[in-house]
Structure 1
Amino acid sequence: MGTNRGGSSSSSSFGRPSFCCKMFPAKPSSPSSFTIIRLFVLLILFIFIFNFYSRAILEDEENLNLRLSSQDSVAQQLPQQLPSEKLWEAPFSAGLHSCVNPTSRYQAFQEGDHYITVRSNGGLNQMRTGIADMIAVSRMMNATLVIPELDRRSFWQDKSIFSDIFDEDHFIDSLKHDVRIIKKLPPELLSVPRARKHFTSWAGLGYYEEMTKLWADYQACSFRTLLCLPSTVIHVAKSDSRLANNDLPLDIQRLRCRALYHALIFSPSIETFGKKLVERLRSHGGRYISLHLRYEKDMLAFSGCTYGLSSAESEELRLLRENTNHWKVKKINSTEQRISGLCPLTPKEVGIFIQALGYPQSTVVYIAAGEIYGGKAHLSELTSRFPNVVFKEMIATEEELEIYSNHASQTAALDYIISLESDVFMPTHSGNMARALEGHRRFLGHRKTVSPDRKGLVDIFDKLESGQLKEGLTLQQLVKHLHEKRQGAPRKREGAPDGIKGRARYKAEESRVHKDLPITVIM
């Protein structure tokens, strides 16, 4: 069986490929063979042509991608303009509004025979907040307040009296249900010795209730009569920061707000001229930014910030700081100050910042500040980006401004009015004017106030300087993201940092009104 299967056979054999003879017979080629060869050649030619054109198409696509990539790169460098309404509109207020009327528990002021005299210290806004605090102090101590004496010894050397800057009659009348205010001490008290007191900083209600003992404890003695009688007058040497920010009775907080935003209005002449300047500004470009550019000699010297200045300028500022007795800190590391976000933005940094927020080059920028240190040399770094930079001298005549010369506080009052009425207020440093205006603008309905995150911006500016970052879309996105919640909208206030205890925590807390008060005013 196996032998028969394994023997020779005419049909097949494992020993030779018999199929070869069937595929390639020994007879001459037929016409169909030439057809197959031609088809084979055409197929090879088609493959060659296909590869050639495919390579060309791929190269074209690569070139197109490179062009698109290049266009995207250029687009990354071009600033994008936001819709106009987004640039200028006030932030969402979440329904919060000012609420400063007295509660039902508030009692009318009871007149007594005790008086407080005050010497306000500092610049305009430092004096304003201090005076508002002394209104509350007078109320808590049940005393009559004599119109405060303004600071004449500060850096600005302004000789203005209260009525030169504020509407004195309005101030007295608007607070008549809260505290008694008089213009001068009664004649019979002018020669009476006063209890001179430097009230503790950041003090609360309990402290001032304790201070009422001064009326009985302090004895005013007369060598002529040899009599010692309880003093009826307390003189307060300083007005700033005499009252705690927080944890005060609700009605005392509301009184502070009424004093600051209702009673302390500027004199009629300043109010009228300030509003006139606002009208002139709007006639130039409609909307405008008020920029509180704190790039002034005293500010830079006090803070020790010399970034971008020459060696000669830095030395000039150091000498000013050394020779100003009431500035206690003399040696300051400028680099550390800047990294910590404690330095005002430079004009160049401000220009980059405003542009990155999306404001067009045509934007009108009003400079609410004194003389810019370095003059045009430094200011040109801002005007090269925003040529419509405006100063008071450009919208007022010399004759109009003459009466304000050598009166820095009155000039600051004009800047305050223009900044309060601006579409956008932008401070470059968190000083007294910045805080006062931010609070006032919140009080009036959360008007747009852009507060630069100076510490965050330093890192961005340094990357621009080193070439790690270029101006354009990426820069815009970084700056806008950093300032999404710094536009003047309602927000929670910050408490004292961890680790701060005792009275120091009151100073470290952000200013705010009572937690139960539906208002977001920063005092």
Structure 2
Amino acid sequence: MGLGPCKSQLGPRGPDKWALRSRALPGRGILGSLRLGCFVSLVSLSHGGLPFLVSRTPPPPRHLRSPPHRSSHDAAGAFQVMPVVVVVVVAVMRGDGGGLKGARGRQGRGAAVAGRWRRVAVILLALAYAASMLVVFLGGGAGGVAVAGALRQRGAPAPAGSVYRSHLVLDRLLPEMRASSASRPHPLMTPQNKKSGKRWAPCITKKLRRSELPPSNGFLIIEANGGLNQQRISICDAVAVASLLNATLVTPAFHLNSVWRDSSKFGDIFDEDHFIGSLRKYIRVVKELPEDAFVNFDHNISMIPNMRTKAFSSESYYLQKVLPKLLELGSVLLFFLPLMLHHILATKVPPNIQALRCFANYEALRFSEPIRMLGTNMVDRMIKMSSLTGGKYISVHLRFEEDMLAFSCCIYDGGWRESIEMENARERSWRGKFHRPGRVINPEANRRNGKCPLTPLEVGMMLKGMGFDNTTSLYVASGKIYNAEKYMTPLRQLFPLLQTKDTLASPEELAQFKTGSTGLHGLSAERRVCDDSRKQLSSFSDRHRRYLYGGNAKTIKPDKRKLVALFDNPNIRWDRFKRQMQDIHRHSESKGFGVRKPNGSISIYTLPMPDCMCQRAEP
């Protein structure tokens, strides 16, 4: 238990202060352990933890560390741990030379005292370790994570757009917002800009090749992962792969995602019979694996071989690598597609395969009958509530759920509570991904680069600056908003005619769709409401809006890198802010039409022209 003849210095303060010397006394190891415990406790708390013991990466140099007192808007994103003073009062028994009284001559009593000191030393060391881990955890710098706040010179101001100050900008502009009156027609009542010449129209069936299907090479089973968009893309890519391999596709299963936690089946979300019937001329689709094929694997799905393919795989890869494996296995291949499923198949594929992918996305896949009915009812109710703007309304898809904020690693104005909740959410859903060695979290750069989800407050300010006043009907599609009472209140104040699925649909209508904690059913119905809106501010893919509206997405897509600079300026004037927002709106209008680049860098799921649509002359 003793420390031995240790005379080395610990720390820069010299031997008189911190040197631990052994004593030629019984129990010297215990006293040394106690001293070490006290020393470690004080050092760990005074130096902000024990990064030199528990961190996989060295702490930043002192001149690059964050200031000792940071606000909740500091770039590092970690709240400041206030200094902690730990006072250890030790009643040292009398004895010469600093030894323990009674240690000589009374071995029994000395052993008991020594045991107590050992326990004290162990407890102090444990407390020191726990305190250091807590401080490092709250500071966000352990586990190989470098927090970018430490990369900025101490005391240096954050670059424009690095810090969330939108709530301060709203406080500054709100009186002018309320005092100003619209000087031009309501944006929803103005005619939609149209490009002269030809317009885009659906023409997928003209591009599809129809021929008698040859005998099937086997069954293709896939598992779709992610949210609604990712699942949809995986299904369409699976249709294309099944056509390439001349395989029979089994209607996809949905993976129980750790974020969505939705247990829906394919037929719960999509019209399964319509999907199978629409594709019957192009590929074979069955609802489940036939009994004669399943019996070969003892009715155990885990016995079915599985294969993962590379991202952005070409047609030749599937024909040369995957098809032989399918034929070798006989009749079944379990084919798991990864999360980013639009990468599983190259964006540039033969025209007939691309057309089939278009057909699957825009024609074969449609929502189930209950979801379509709910969506239609919600649209009708929204139109009736928009009488002040001729039945026209704006839809907004807010991505301000806890998992989105946690994944973005952005910092808002929630202080230490927000920091803890975001860290817990990251660990709950991604288990250590953000604490891997070498991982750098840079909240400031994320915000400057436009990677932070817009708050409801920011959405309201932006729409207000674009000219949408409090007579505008606004539909908000979202999951569970993080800290909704705080963040949704300003948006409701700016747009009192705000509606959500909970206000448009009755509890009885929504109850039948709540199969999971977040439920993709409600999101599916909201997609219909968004598709029918006159304007959309959305992170929903606008592919269906382009497909429905002759190639024009009618979607407001602001440059968030410009937005953050405006939202980070509490001294900005309302007239300048409004002018900047209207410029963003006009830019979105001009970019409403777009054609895919010839190199195929943009997928058909983002821009359906020209692969899925044809140009026709205006009448």
Bin of the TM-score, shorter chain as denominator length: 0.7 to 0.9
1:311 aligns with one of 416, 429, 449: 416
The one-letter code matched in structure 1 to 2:362 is Y
Q: Which residue of 1 aligns with 2:512?
A: 403
Deviation at 1:287, TM superposition (A): 1.6
Mapping 1:106-505, distance limit 5 Å: 107-191=211-295, 192=297, 193-210=303-320, 211-216=322-327, 218=328, 230-238=329-337, 240-244=341-345, 246-285=347-386, 286-325=391-430, 328-330=433-435, 332-407=441-516, 408-427=519-538, 430=539, 434-435=540-541, 438-445=542-549, 446-463=552-569, 465=570, 467=571, 469-472=572-575, 474-487=576-589, 489-493=592-596
- How far is the alpha carbon of 1:324 from its aligned partner? 2.3
TM-score (norm 1): 0.73
Q: Residue 234 of structure 1: SS of its match in structure 2? A: strand
**How many Å apart are 1:181 and its aligned residue?**
0.3
What SS does the aligned partner of 1:139 have? helix
C-alpha deviation, 1:205, in angstroms:
1.5
How has the CA–CA distance of structure 1 residues 90 and 355 changed in structure 2, closer, same or farther, with 3 Å as cutoff?
same
CA distance in 1, matches of 2:515, 2:268: 13
User: What is the CA distance between 1:296 and its match in structure 2?
Assistant: 0.8
Query: What amino acid sits opposite 2:347 in the alignment?
Result: N
Change (3 A) 1:479 1:495: farther
Mean Cα displacement is larger for which, 77-86 or 122-131?
Answer: 77-86
Partner Cα separation in structure 2 for residue 104 and residue 403 of structure 1: 38
Deviation at 1:309, TM superposition (A): 2.8
Aligned pairs for 1:71-86 within 5 A: 78=180, 80-84=182-186
Distance 1:323 1:263, change over 3 A: same
Deviates more, 1:401-410 or 1:280-289: 401-410
CA RMSD of aligned residues (A): 2.8
**Which segment is superposed worse, 400-409 or 164-173?**
400-409
Name the CA shift for 1:419/1:514 in 2 (closer, same or farther; >3 Å): closer
SS at match of 1:401: helix
Residue deviations 1:362-411 (CA, integer Å, cap 9, x gap): 11111100111111211112112111111111122222211122441111
| SS of residue matched to 1:337 | helix
Amino acid across the alignment from 1:454: K
Alignment partner, residue 69 of structure 1:
none
**Change over 3 Å in CA distance of 1:87–1:321 after alignment to 2:** farther
Q: Which amino acid aligns with 1:197?
A: M
The SS at the match of 1:387 is coil
1:162 to 1:376, Cα distance in 2 relative to 1, 3 A:
same
Q: 1:214 offset after TM fit, Å? A: 1.1
The verdict on how the C-alpha distance between 1:82 and 1:298 changes in structure 2, with shifts beyond 3 A counting, is farther
The 3 A distance-change label for structure 1 pair 483 and 514 is closer
One-letter amino acid of the counterpart of residue 455, structure 1: R
Output the CA distance in 1 between the equivalents of 2:190 and 2:601.
35
Using the TM superposition, give the Cα deviation of residue 251 of structure 1 relative to its aligned residue in structure 2, in angstroms: 1.9
1:421: how far off?
1.4
Three-state SS of the structure 1 residue aligned to 2:433 is: coil
Offset at 1:140?
Answer: 0.8
Superimposed CA distance per residue, residues 108-138 of structure 1 (whole angstroms, 9 cap, x where no aligned partner): 5334141100111011121011101111111
Contact 1:149 1:162 in 2 (8 A): yes
| Alignment check: 8 A CA contact 2:187 2:467 kept | no
Q: Is the contact made by 2:397 and 2:476 (CA closer than 8 Å) also made in structure 1?
A: yes
Q: CA deviation at 1:103?
A: 3.0
Contact conserved, 2:604 with 2:611, CA < 8 A, in 1?
Answer: no
Per-residue CA deviation, residues 211-260 of structure 1 (Å, 9 max, x unaligned), is: 211123x4xxxxxxxxxxx4311111225234445321122222112111
> Could you tell me how far apart the structure 1 residues matched to 2:476 and 2:188 are?
22
2:596–2:609 CA contact under 8 A, matched in 1: no
Query: Per the alignment, do residues 81 and 204 of structure 1 end up closer, same or farther by CA in structure 2, a change over 3 Å counting?
Result: farther
Residue 513 of structure 1: how far off its partner (Å): 5.4
- Determine which structure has more spread, i.e. the larger CA radius of gyration: 1
Q: Is the 8 Å Cα contact of residues 347 and 379 (structure 1) preserved in structure 2?
A: yes
- What secondary structure sits across from 1:154 in the alignment? coil
In the TM superposition, residue 516 of structure 1 has moved relative to its aligned partner by 6.7
SS of the aligned residue for 2:536 comes to: strand
Counterpart residue identity of residue 333, structure 2: I
Alpha-carbon contact 1:123-1:154 (below 8 Å) kept: no
AA partner of residue 92 (structure 1): K
Q: Distance in 1 between matches of 2:423 and 2:434?
A: 11
CA contact under 8 A between 2:221 and 2:335: conserved in structure 1? yes
Q: Distance in 1 between matches of 2:432 and 2:212?
A: 42
For the 8 Å contact 1:81–1:359, the answer to whether it is kept is: no
Residues 596 and 602 of structure 2 are in contact (CA less than 8 Å); yes or no, is this contact kept in structure 1?
Answer: no
Distance in 2 (alpha carbons) for counterparts of 1:271 and 1:346: 29
Which one-letter code corresponds to 2:559 in the other structure?
D
